[in-house]
Structures are given as C-alpha cells and as structure tokens.
Structure 1
Amino acid sequence: MTDVAAARYAGARLPRVEDPRLLTGHGTFVDDVVRPGMLHAHFVRSPMARARVLSIDASEALALDGVHAVFTAGDLNPDVVDHWYSLMGKHVPDTPRPPLASDEVRFVGDPVALIVAVDRYVAEDAAERVFVDYDPLPPVVDYATAVESDELVHASYPRNIAGELGGRPAEELAETFAAAAHVVEHTLHQQAYAAVPMETRGLIVEYSAPTGEMTIWASTQSPHEVRLFCSRLLGMPEHRVRVVMRDTGGGFGQKAVPQREDMCLMLAARKVPAALKWIEDRQENLVSAGQGRHEHGTARLAFDDEGRILAASIDHVQDAGAYPVPWPVQTAAVVGILFPGPYRVPAATFTTQSVFSNTTARAPYRGPWQFESLAREVLLDVAARRIGMDPIELRRRNLLRRDEMPLTNPNGMPYSDVTPLETFEHAMKLLDYDAFRREQERARAEGRYLGVGTCTYIEPTTSGHGFLGTEGATIRIEPSGTVNVYVAGGSSGNSLETTAVQLAADALGVDIADVNTIQGDTAVTPFGGGTGGSRSGSMIAGAVAETASVLRERVLAIAAHRLEAAVEDLELKHGVAAVKGAPGSELTLAEIAEIAYFQAGSLPPEIPAGLEASGRYRAQSLMIWANATHVCTCEVDVVTGAVTILRYLVSEDCGPMINPNVVEGQIAGGSVQGIGGVLFEHAAYDADGNPLATTFMDYLLPTSTEVPVIEYGHVETPGPGEGGYKGVGEGGAIGAPPAVVNAVADALAPFGVEVTRLPLGPASVVGLIEAAGA
C-alpha cells in the first residue's frame, strides 16, 4: 500500500493566494482588458415600464462622429439559434428571453437598441440621439395582484403566471390542522433587493472572421456555461468559442448565467470589425441586472399541547419580473419543499406561484430559496409568543438531531449528515441565552428595548445531478517539479484558487509554495459547473483527489523503479519520495519529473511517460447537506426606530473546513448581505413601474459602521463527498434575515408588534409600534 501523508494544509488558516494581487490593485478584471481597435457598446433603454415600440430612428446617432453602428431587435434577434442554459437543461418550460425589446418594452431599463462606438462617451452621447416612439400601456407593477390584472406582461401567459407547483393536496392535512391544540398562521412579505457585486456585469467579445473563432472575456461565475451558451446562441461549434475569466469582483448569483445584454454582445460581435466591450455602470446594474427575493407567503404550523409540530404548510408567491433568468419555477419549488427545514415535521404541503411583472428580471441571488427559512423561523417566534412558550424551548422540542439521520422530510427531500439541534445548542452556549434574558429584563426596566432572534436552517449544497453533478481537474507536474492544477474555476471572491492549491499540495505531498492553479480559461481548463449552489469547494476537492491519486501513484512508481525499492516502502512528503528508514535514499519531485519527461526510455513499459493526468469527479449523493444556527441580539430605539445590532453569532456545520479563514469569510459576507436585506436595502418601484433606488444615494447598503463583529462556532460532521467537505457559500444570506427580524420583533414584543413586511428601516419600525397602539 502506498503512503498517503496526513493532510498538512487542509484545515489550516492559510492566507489566500489571491490576496497579494487583489490587495495591491494588480488583479485583472474585464475593464482591465484592452484589445486592438476595441469598440465600446452602450444600450438605449426604455424609460417606460410598459409600452409598444412603434418606431426607432437612429439616423442622428449614426451621423455622430465615432459611431460605428446602432443595432435594434430586427438586426440581432433573428440571429438567435438557441438560448437555453446548461444549468437548467433544454427541456424546462423556459420563459421568454429576447436579446433586444422589439414589439413591446416590459420594464424601465429594458434594452431597446445597442450602440457601438469608438468609446463609451461617444456611445452615451449617441444614445441621446436615438428617438424611440413609444405608445404607453398600463404596466403590471405589483406582482401580488398581477394574477387578477386584465393586463398581461406576456400575451402567451394567462393571468401573468410564469409557472405553478405544489405538494400534496391541502385537504390531506385538514384533519390534522383541525384537531391540533394550536394552529398559528402568519403572512410575511419580503421586499426586492439586489446582489450589488463590487464589479458590475461586463464582457468583451472578439470575433475572428478568418478563423470563425470567438473569444470572450467575461465577468462570470461560470466560464464554461458562457461558452456553451454562446455556442448554442450563435450556432457555432463549441471548440471555436473560448471564454476567459480572470478576476471577477463578486457575483452572488447575478453572474451565474448570461443575460440579455450578454446575448446582444455575442450577436453583435460578428457584425463589427473589432472586439466589442460592454461594462455596465452602477445605475444600469441597479435597474437592469435583476432583483432577488421579492416574494410573500402565508405559512401555517399545527402544534400539539406540548408545542410539538404536527403539520406545516406554506402558500408562496414570488415576483418573476419581466424576463427571469433562469426559469424561476424550480427555485420557487425549493421554497416549498424545504419549508419544514431542520425540524421534526410529520406532515407538510405547499403551493408556489411565480408571477410576471413589469419590473426587472428575477435573477439568482445567494440562497435563492431563502424565503423558506425566513417564513418558517419568523412563524416559529410568532407561534411561541401566541402559545406562551419561550422560542428557544419551542425549537428545542422540534429540532432534528444527528442520530435521527438519514431522514426524509415530509415533502420527500432526503436529509443526511446534519446536526440541527447540536449546532443550535452550541450557538445558545456561545450566546449564554439565560444571561441575555436577564440583561434584557434589566434594560426594559430602564426603558431600553433589547431583543434576541435566531434562525436554524438546513441547506442543500453540491447537487449530484446534471450540469453541476461533475467537475474535472487536470494536474501537471512540470519538468521543474512545480505543480500546476487546472480547474474550471469561477472564482468570484470565494477563494477557489486557495482551495485548489491547498488540496493539491496535500494530495501530492508537496509544499504549497510549489503549487499553482490555472482557472477560468475554457481553452485549457476541463469542463466544470462554476460557482453556484454552494458546490465549488466539495467538487474541486473531489476533482483534485481523483486526479492527484493517479499522479501520486506514477510518481511513486518511478521513484521505486529508480531507487530499486518497493512502492509500499516509499513515502512522499515535501516533494521528496524517500525510502522509509533509509536516509539518503530519495528523489525530489524535480528529479522524478526529469526521469518522466527526459529519460522515459529507462522506465518499464507499464509506467507511462510524463507527469500529467486528468480526472473527473462525480458527486457521491443527490445533495450534500449543511446546517447552521444564526443568533442576533439588538437594541431598538423606539423613538427613532433605529436598530443597533449588539452581537451576531453563527454556529455552522459545513463539515471539515479546508481553510477556516475562507469559511468564515463566506459566512461573514453572506450574513452581511442578509442583514442589509432586512435593515437597509430596498429595490423599490412606484405605481407606474419607475425604479426609485437607482443610485447608492437611494439604495442603501450596510457599511463597516453598521456591520457587527461576527462570532463563529463550528460543529464538524463529515458529508458524503471527498474529505467530508460541505458547501458554505450561501448559508449566511439564508440565516441572517430571520435572525435579525426575530431579534427586532423580540425587542418590540412588549408593544405587541408582529413583523409582516420588510425591510425594517427606522420609519417602518416606528410605524409598527404606532400601528400596535403603543
């Protein structure tokens, strides 16, 4: 048996290998790429939420010096061959996705024309000289009433319904609800908010007519998805499309798949004489890049007289916007399926409905099924107050334990390898819950209102199906002995470079300084699913392990042959293969590489020449499950409505940690986005469909002064995949909103306040207190 050294790097708090270039301003983003004679694109966008497009006159724009072309729907849309996403597959009943608006505009910001000019400034000037004759139509702005509207966002979708799904008939649970000692129902509305990556969307598309090849530099989470999408869109062979992703300044789901503007650039690139570049400005990003959340649901729980859950149901409705990406119905279904969460729920059902509106598209946003946790956890606190039970005790009686796994929830979702009760108790210990309640009581006596809120969730990570179910790696030990690891990548702030380097160094028994990784170039990296679904860490771990094992065996076989030793007598550490117990009988990796590449004739026939291998990992299960408990304490100023977070704790079970710094960074980033979504962010529209938050003067984000210090606790239960690693990217954004909402509601409990609508800005908080008659 060959020696496999114990991990030296996995599990260590190592600095990120990306940081030196990123922190010193030496990263390469799309806007840093310059191509010879490069042209620039700018979109003419609709100022109306809904209108017929009667005509477009671009003559004045075309007359402007420096303008190369103005493309409208008639120029680009007919060239579309196909436009389905690998992420979803070609057989889903997808929703409309025209590159440019043609007969009708369907939201403010809808792209109507594409201007190509020598620079962005000329293109923007030209946009003011494109005259579009609009015939205004009544917009469908409120998704919640859209099914009752006489107006249709898309004529082929009656009642503005993009799709509906449901669980078992509600009648099957009627008797359980009727006989329950307590039935608690609560309706909660969550506002729209945006991903707001530091780097907005952007790409450069360069087409070479002589070779029929297209190269795309993209700000994306999934370079191979962009390549496949472009190939289908244009009807080009896959091998003639190359996508290059360098650094990407955040994605959060917004960059998981190409959107309509990306389609336009791909289509237009074959019609212009040079590379074509588009970088979205911040206002465009807030108006047109897509919204997250914006949904509501009525949730019900039935309890026995001891507070144990008997049944659960949720009726969920979400805003799909005008042109959702991708098909929104699947994510909505996950809201219903996961609504029982990490609790012992004997029976459950759900309905879910995705509804079109004349607003920007629904796009993926970190934990896109997050509403299941928000609705459930807020309802549990409401239930505790109505029943007269402490919310922590109510959860203790119902949370699933590690020894109950595996288990299938009542909606058919199989759970395994999770620790809901254990992480919950760990979080309570970190908080010292009893001490907080005593502090809260003292504060109330002084006229100060403190509150505590929790959220315990279970999260599916690393899907084992379809496009996301496999991941490839190629590892080459160069003649110098340096190790290069090629993986698809999609690193957009989630430290995939550090992950690949740490794992490969351990798998090959070499020093981390001798390992490099090449990612994000479809011409040289193996096919991969990119980032999404909290999959990257565990899938890269599997791909690296699958590939490195082949190389490790070859390295040891070459060393054994040259050293005249048995393979089982060798160990490989620090890049040296040595005979155990025989000092000096050893070969460095560089010496072994020299033999493999330049002295291959001296090797036995059964040992291949060279030191390069490729492998493909297949996920070991349908899902890898992670879980966590978030705890928030806050103080609410009942006069001004200001909410100040006092402590924020997360007890997380994402399995063994490849790098605790990276894990905690992912938790922190998601948690801050969730906090922002409750207290600050709101992508609001007026009744005419005009967006009201188009700059950072109006769209508020939490800053370093509002963000609390996050305290971390870790419970480690290995998952079924390589190394036992689980996903962690989306959990913070799932767990934070319910914890913050419950903390505010707990602080205001003396006033009889129940939260039914987000966000909870100061005016909303004061309004809740006044509405309660306080």
Structure 2
Amino acid sequence: MSVVDAAATRYAGTRVRRVEDPRLLTGHGTFVDDVVRPGMLHACFVRSPLARARITGIDTAEALALDGVHAVFVAADLNPDVREQWYTLLGRDIPDTPRPPLAEDEVRFAGDPVALVVATDRYIAEDAAELVAVDYEPLPPIVDYETARESAELVHENYPGNVAGELSGRPAADLAPVFEGAAHVVGTTIHQQAYAPVPMETRGLVAEWSATDGELTMWASTQAPHEVRLFCSRLLGLAEHRVRVIMRDTGGGFGQKVLPMREDMCIMLAARKLPAAVKWVEDRRENLLSAGQARHEHADVKLAFDEQGVMLAAQIDHVSDAGAYPTPWPVQSAAPVGMLFPGPYRITQATFSVTSVFSNTSGRAAYRGPWQFESVAREVLVDRAARELGIDPVELRRRNLLRHDELPFFNPNGMPYSDMTPLETFEHALEILDYQGFRAEQKRARAQGRYLGVGTASYVEPTTAAMGLHATEGATIRIEPSGKVNVYVSGGSTGNSLETTAVALTADELGVDIADVHTIQGDTAITPFGGGTGGSRSGSMIAGAVAETASILRERIVAIAAHRLEAAAEDIELAESRARVRGVPDKGVSLADIAAMAYFQVDALPPDVPPGLEASARYRGKSPIIWANATHVCTCEVDIVTGQVKLLRYIVSEDCGPMINPNIVEGQIAGGTVQGIGGALYEQLAYDDDGNPVSTTFMDYLLPTATEVPDIEYGHVETPGPGPGGYKGVGEGGAIGAPPAVINAVADALRPFGAEITRLPLSPAAIVELIEAANR
C-alpha cells in the first residue's frame, strides 16, 4: 500500500457529497426495469397456490394460444439443461441443498415456480399465466419448522427428519460442571419471527442470447455481478468470457441479491431458447412470496455467573427454518450464530449447536447480518439475567465487556477478536444518553402512570472476511491523456455509495482533485474480478485495491515529474492534480501535462518508465477477519392500554475504524437500524396452518416509516483495524444491534408488570397479551 503525502489527503474522513446523487435524485438512474432491448420479450412465472402438492399435469395449450405469447416453459424444458449449480462464494464441494429451476413433480411452498410464460409484454404474460392449467394432488405440508423433525412427512425425501444440516461446537457435557457449580444460571427460549430484506427495487434480470457468437449478456439487479457471471457460466456450460453481466443501479439488496436464485436460473436457461432478450422483474407480491425469508429461528440459551455477576460460560442450541429451497446452504449462516454467541464479553467457556430444518415455506436467504440472532438471544438474556440477579443491566455489562487493552482475545469458540472497543463504545453511548438522567426521568414518569424503558445491545461484527471469493479485490486505474482519472472496480453498489468511496480514495491516493476522478463499476467485461457487496467488505477491500494500483501509477507520475522538473523524486509531492517540488509551490507540472508526455512524448520519458498511465493490481486481505463493534441504546414509552411502542431516542456508538466518509457510514448505520426496528416491532412473513402466506402486500407486511423512527444519534470510536487505512466494515451492524436494543427497552418499560419477552415481533396485541399474562 502506498503512503500518501498528508498534504494530498483531502477526502477520506470528510463528508464528501455522494457522486451518485445527481443521477439518482433526478430520476436518471438506470435500473433493470429501465433496460430496453430490440424486440424484448417479458416473462412471468406461474406459481403454486399450495404449500405442498404433487404435480399431476400441466396444460399450456390455452396460454400458448393467446395472441402475443411466445413460449411457456415447464420443468422438462429447462431443468435438464442445468450443467453445474454452485456458488463461488461457498465452493463446489459444500453440501448444498436441492434447488431445481422449476418445480419438478412436487411443489414445496406456496409461490413455488411451476412454469415460465414469455410474451411480448408483461401484461400478456400475466394473462397467459392465468391460463396455464396445473393439476395438483394436495399433500400434507410442514408449515411449522419446530415440529418438522418429528413429522412423518418430508419436504425433501433425501433429508431424514427434514434436517438440512447441523453443526456443533464443544460437547455440552464438557460444560455441565461449570453450569452446575455456578452461583447463578439464567436461561430461556427465545423465538424470532420470519422477516425479509424488502429492497426498494425488487429482483430483476434481462438476458439476451446472441446465437451468432454464442454469448449471453445480462443486465442484473445484483450485489455481485462477477458472482452472477461465474454462476451462469457453470449453469449453462459456457466459458466465462462468453457471459457478460452489467449492473447499473441496484435499488437495495441487503443480502437478497448476492446470489442468483431459482427465478434467475430460469431466465438464464430460457434466454438461449428465445429469439430476443427476455426481461423479468418481480412485483412486490412475488418478492414477499418467494424471494426468501430470514430470521425465522429460536434457541435455548443460558449463561452462568459467579457471585459477583461475572460471566463464566455460555450455551446456545439454535434451530432455524431453512424453508423449502434455501439460498445458500443454510448452515453457512447458522454457524456464526453459535460461534459468535459469547459476543463482546469476557467469557472463557462456551458451546453451541445449530440445526437448519426444512419446511414448506419460502426458502431462507441471506439478510443483513445473517447471524443476527446471536445478538438478539444474548442481549435479551443479559437483561433478563440482570433482573434475576438484581443488578442494573448497565452495571452487569460493565463487569463483563471486553476492553480494548485486553485484545487480542480468542472467544471460547475460537473467534480471534482484535482491534475493537466493546467497553469503550458502550460507555460512549451511555454518555450520549445520560443514563442516570434517564433513570431519574423514568422514575418520575412511572409516578405519573407512564412507562418508559431503556435498552442496550452490544455486539461484535466480523467484517471483510478475507477468504475464498472475498480474499482479493482488483482495481484498474487509467489516467487519460487529459489528466482525468478513471478507476474501474467490480462494483456491487446497492445504495452503499461505492462510487463515492472509490472516487474519494483514488483522489487521495493520486493527489488529484476529486472532480477529476470518475469510476466505472458493475460491468464484468471491463472491470477486474471482485467479490461484490456482502459481508461488510466493500470499503476496506476497495481501499486496498485502489491503493495497490495507485502506488504503481504514483511511482510513474513522480518519476516523470522529477525528470521534467529536474528534481529528486523524493522531493516531488502530488496535490490538486499537480506534481510540484516540495517547498517550492510555483515549481510544478499538471497531471494533464504528465499524461500527455506519457502517451504522446514517449521518447522524452525517463529511462525505465513505460509509456502510458494505466495500471491494474489486486489487493489481498491482510487479516482473516476485520472486527467492528458497536453499542445501540434505545429509549421508549409503552402505552399499556393499547400496547403501542413509541421510540424516544436512539443512539449508536460504532467503532468501524477511521471513516472514509462519515455521511456514508451514518447512512449505513441508519438503514440497518431502521430495518432492525422493523424486525423488532412490525415486520412478519406469516403463514396460516395450511402454509398459505398471509403477508404478501404492504397492507399486511408492516414497515417502519419516518413517523415511527426517531432521529438517530451517532457516536464514533475510531480504532484502526489491520486492513488498508485502518478501515473496517459497517454495512450490517445496524440491523444486528437494533432488535435487541428495542426489545430490552420495551422489557425495561414493562418491568413493573414482571413481563418477560421471548417472542417477536412486539406488536401492540403481543404487548397487551404480555401485560395481561403477567397480571394473571
């Protein structure tokens, strides 16, 4: 990584305006639905109305007879064309679960795609889908994953007991003496409901096959264009260079758009059978019906304490709903629930088990902080322990949170914590709140019959996991003959401002004016291979890739400038798109002049300096995991008659290292926090006893709005991490910390009633029931 002159570092760490905003805020973005190709066709799926049934026949004749319908594909038309089906993110050898493009023989959830209709426009395709006659023989569905292991029915016949996969840590018997000998053991069972990412832009794909040159071009709403390209090349048996993926603007992903799902597979397979490009954009009902669920899980959890309230051991036995067709292998996201359960505490002994179970519901999919339940379970249990031990929950945490000077520290499941500040961020958040002041206010309010509560949640977040697909990131930088700069990175910007990040970092590394830098992202034909957005990796990995590449160009620029100015290379500094002699500001040369010399006056270049100003390089992650951490603090008021929760203040103290752009960091925290608030109080993907989804519109699936969310207050503790610039990830933390902070605040408000929260969401009706049950 290059070292940049302090004088040239002008953008990282400052609130640079987002370069994307003029395009996006004026409606000039290009999303998948904006893509139009000559003669383009449109696709619509025929979906099962039943949670489980045998397919005994499909009649497509009436649909094909409709004017404008081009084709109707069923499983026999597409599924046999599948060559390989695995994700680069996980690797070929992972024991993945079944994932046919279209349902074969049996449908396994309400919304399962059975047929694909292609017509001249979406309206005709939808009309034709209604005309496809599918004969179903209903079968008993497994709707409740909690009973699936005891059911005689199987979602997939090759998975006994409906177990999709399981993993465990240290044998629980090893810790039995610790729990038996502890002064206090606190345990409970905590359930979290199913909810989903609900991105502003739903899933979508345009695929265009060119038979003459055997190439497939796709415009995708994705977080990882190179992953889509690799997956498609394997799926269709095409060489990678025959597949091009173009990602322009993507309106949110939050994990849902990292990996291609079954509908994407269908469009890829169908494209080679069609004479023109085909577009599929799901509507909101489809998104809530079949784009995947997350968070549906429960666990038996317990903590052991000594007489002083010091944590001795932790145990979690976690079971999650994999749905019918999870993406990806569900144990991958379940394993960190167990491994991270000790959290940011000084716990030296722990064990865990995680089990993923199939059900006849929408498949589990990634969602911002897929392991989030470990923080929900642990932080709710810590507050419960404080109540049972008669200790203030803040004081209990103070006795057990790790301090910065205690690191590195291996949690008892082997996670190597480093470069974090758990206790420091905790204290910072409480200082912003004025914790004692709030307790005094709470006491006065209760005397008036008002019920206020405060909740905290502290967590550690693994970011930038440098392994597999995510181990490296590339960048290409070309300084044009005009002196303007183009930086090419893989992309994956889905509202997380990777354009602004790449531009600011490049401007700093080369000492150029930010207005002179432009970035090209999201086109696999011209950008270096990269892992895309996921795992809170983008900021630090792009910083590394840009730094590695810019150092090559910087050395070349300095050599040319020194030759031109007749100065020593070590005396050259780069700033404001100029190279100048340090201490002699009037003696300099513009980057445009240097570029013109590099391209057009190659005979005048110094010896051993190649012509041109273009370079490519790859950054390799320096650490297996870069750790971030935060504390969330929430205060609320609960109306004990209606059960309504009003959030009063919301504070986040985050340590994500030095901030590349505080605006972007705070935007990421805010977005995740609001999603977490929604999960605690409002959102639920619910099914009835027959497996029928009952929340597939925004009339039934409730989201938080600006009315329900208070202004979020930010505190920043900046501890450099081991990566480039000391940067850490920040994308997922808000969604991890918010639910337990809100739950604990509500529980604290209800403390006079002795109510204990073990199920989500905390709807008004659920809160009234809690109060009534506590009073019975």
SS of the residue corresponding to residue 504 of structure 1 reads helix
SS of the residue corresponding to residue 25 of structure 1 reads coil
User: CA–CA distance in 2 between the matches of 1:117 and 1:70?
Assistant: 9
User: How much has 1:53 moved relative to structure 2?
Assistant: 0.5
SS of the residue corresponding to residue 272 of structure 2 reads helix
Number of the residue aligned with 1:368? 370
Whether the 8 Å CA contact 2:560–2:606 is kept in 1: the answer is: no
SS of the residue corresponding to residue 329 of structure 2 reads coil
Whether the 8 Å CA contact 2:338–2:352 is kept in 1: the answer is: yes
User: CA–CA distance in 2 between the matches of 1:330 and 1:286?
Assistant: 23
User: CA–CA distance in 1 between the matches of 2:408 and 2:91?
Assistant: 29
User: CA–CA distance in 2 between the matches of 1:727 and 1:710?
Assistant: 19
User: CA–CA distance in 1 between the matches of 2:182 and 2:564?
Assistant: 76
User: CA–CA distance in 1 between the matches of 2:720 and 2:408?
Assistant: 13
Number of the residue aligned with 2:144? 142
User: CA–CA distance in 1 between the matches of 2:507 and 2:308?
Assistant: 53
User: CA–CA distance in 1 between the matches of 2:260 and 2:58?
Assistant: 26
Number of the residue aligned with 1:9? 11
Matches within 5 A, 1:119-518: 119-518=121-520
User: CA–CA distance in 1 between the matches of 2:55 and 2:583?
Assistant: 82
User: CA–CA distance in 1 between the matches of 2:585 and 2:370?
Assistant: 57
- Select which of 551, 554, 558 maps to 1:552: 554
Q: Which amino acid aligns with 1:4?
A: D
Whether the 8 Å CA contact 1:3–1:568 is kept in 2: the answer is: no
Deviations along 1:272-325, one digit per CA (max 9) or x if unpaired, are: 100000000000000000011000001100000100001100000000000000
Q: Which amino acid aligns with 1:455?
A: A
Whether the 8 Å CA contact 1:2–1:567 is kept in 2: the answer is: no
Whether the 8 Å CA contact 2:628–2:655 is kept in 1: the answer is: yes
Which deviates further from its counterpart, 732-741 or 605-614? 605-614
Deviations along 1:628-649, one digit per CA (max 9) or x if unpaired, are: 0000000000000000000000
User: CA–CA distance in 2 between the matches of 1:432 and 1:399?
Assistant: 19
Q: Which amino acid aligns with 2:666?
A: E
User: How much has 1:5 moved relative to structure 2?
Assistant: 3.7
User: CA–CA distance in 2 between the matches of 1:440 and 1:5?
Assistant: 49
User: How much has 1:569 moved relative to structure 2?
Assistant: 1.4
SS of the residue corresponding to residue 703 of structure 1 reads coil
Deviations along 1:18-40, one digit per CA (max 9) or x if unpaired, are: 00111111100000010000000
User: CA–CA distance in 1 between the matches of 2:721 and 2:3?
Assistant: 25
SS of the residue corresponding to residue 271 of structure 1 reads coil
Number of the residue aligned with 2:543? 541
Number of the residue aligned with 1:748? 750
User: CA–CA distance in 2 between the matches of 1:691 and 1:68?
Assistant: 31
SS of the residue corresponding to residue 200 of structure 1 reads coil
Deviations along 1:439-489, one digit per CA (max 9) or x if unpaired, are: 111111111000000000000000111101110000000000000000001
User: How much has 1:564 moved relative to structure 2?
Assistant: 1.8
Number of the residue aligned with 1:585? 587
Cα distance 1:741–1:712, how it changes in 2: closer, same or farther (>3 A)? same
Runs of at least 5 residues in structure 2 that lack an aligned partner in the other structure: none
Whether the 8 Å CA contact 2:581–2:587 is kept in 1: the answer is: yes
Deviations along 1:534-560, one digit per CA (max 9) or x if unpaired, are: 000000000000100110110011111
Deviations along 1:88-144, one digit per CA (max 9) or x if unpaired, are: 111100000100001100000000000000000000000111000000000000001
SS of the residue corresponding to residue 369 of structure 1 reads coil
User: CA–CA distance in 1 between the matches of 2:624 and 2:750?
Assistant: 42
User: CA–CA distance in 2 between the matches of 1:304 and 1:585?
Assistant: 70
User: How much has 1:601 moved relative to structure 2?
Assistant: 1.9
SS of the residue corresponding to residue 447 of structure 1 reads coil
Q: Which amino acid aligns with 2:673?
A: S
Matches within 5 A, 1:555-704: 555-704=557-706
User: How much has 1:604 moved relative to structure 2?
Assistant: 3.3
Deviations along 1:22-81, one digit per CA (max 9) or x if unpaired, are: 111110000001000000000000000000001100000000000000000000000000
Q: Which amino acid aligns with 1:652?
A: E
Q: Which amino acid aligns with 2:628?
A: A
Deviations along 1:249-288, one digit per CA (max 9) or x if unpaired, are: 0000000100000000000000010000000000000000
User: CA–CA distance in 2 between the matches of 1:600 and 1:262?
Assistant: 49
Whether the 8 Å CA contact 2:559–2:606 is kept in 1: the answer is: no
Deviations along 1:149-169, one digit per CA (max 9) or x if unpaired, are: 000000000000000100100
User: CA–CA distance in 1 between the matches of 2:699 and 2:353?
Assistant: 38
SS of the residue corresponding to residue 192 of structure 2 reads strand
User: How much has 1:602 moved relative to structure 2?
Assistant: 1.9
Whether the 8 Å CA contact 2:337–2:374 is kept in 1: the answer is: yes
User: CA–CA distance in 2 between the matches of 1:581 and 1:45?
Assistant: 71
Q: Which amino acid aligns with 2:395?
A: E
Whether the 8 Å CA contact 2:457–2:737 is kept in 1: the answer is: yes
Give the superposed CA RMSD: 0.9
User: How much has 1:582 moved relative to structure 2?
Assistant: 3.5
User: How much has 1:3 moved relative to structure 2?
Assistant: 6.7
User: CA–CA distance in 2 between the matches of 1:2 and 1:216?
Assistant: 39
Runs of at least 5 residues in structure 1 that lack an aligned partner in the other structure: none
Number of the residue aligned with 1:98? 100
SS of the residue corresponding to residue 772 of structure 1 reads helix
User: How much has 1:4 moved relative to structure 2?
Assistant: 2.5
User: How much has 1:342 moved relative to structure 2?
Assistant: 0.2
User: How much has 1:583 moved relative to structure 2?
Assistant: 4.7
Deviations along 1:545-601, one digit per CA (max 9) or x if unpaired, are: 010011011001111112222101111110111122335431100000000001112
Q: Which amino acid aligns with 1:155?
A: E
Number of the residue aligned with 2:732? 730
User: CA–CA distance in 2 between the matches of 1:588 and 1:73?
Assistant: 62
Whether the 8 Å CA contact 2:4–2:509 is kept in 1: the answer is: no
Cα distance 1:764–1:35, how it changes in 2: closer, same or farther (>3 A)? same
Q: Which amino acid aligns with 2:466?
A: G
Whether the 8 Å CA contact 1:321–1:360 is kept in 2: the answer is: yes
Runs of 4+ in structure 1 deviating by more than 2 angstroms, as ranges, are 1-6, 580-585
User: CA–CA distance in 1 between the matches of 2:412 and 2:584?
Assistant: 60
User: CA–CA distance in 2 between the matches of 1:678 and 1:580?
Assistant: 57
Matches within 5 A, 1:32-51: 32-51=34-53
Whether the 8 Å CA contact 1:471–1:528 is kept in 2: the answer is: yes
User: CA–CA distance in 2 between the matches of 1:641 and 1:582?
Assistant: 70
- Select which of 64, 83, 86 maps to 1:84: 86
Which deviates further from its counterpart, 555-564 or 483-492? 555-564
Whether the 8 Å CA contact 2:190–2:377 is kept in 1: the answer is: yes
User: CA–CA distance in 2 between the matches of 1:424 and 1:334?
Assistant: 23
User: CA–CA distance in 2 between the matches of 1:518 and 1:675?
Assistant: 35
User: CA–CA distance in 2 between the matches of 1:526 and 1:41?
Assistant: 31
User: How much has 1:10 moved relative to structure 2?
Assistant: 0.2
Q: TM-score, normalised by structure 2?
A: 0.99
SS of the residue corresponding to residue 128 of structure 1 reads helix
User: CA–CA distance in 2 between the matches of 1:444 and 1:294?
Assistant: 35
Whether the 8 Å CA contact 1:230–1:241 is kept in 2: the answer is: yes
Q: Which amino acid aligns with 1:671?
A: T
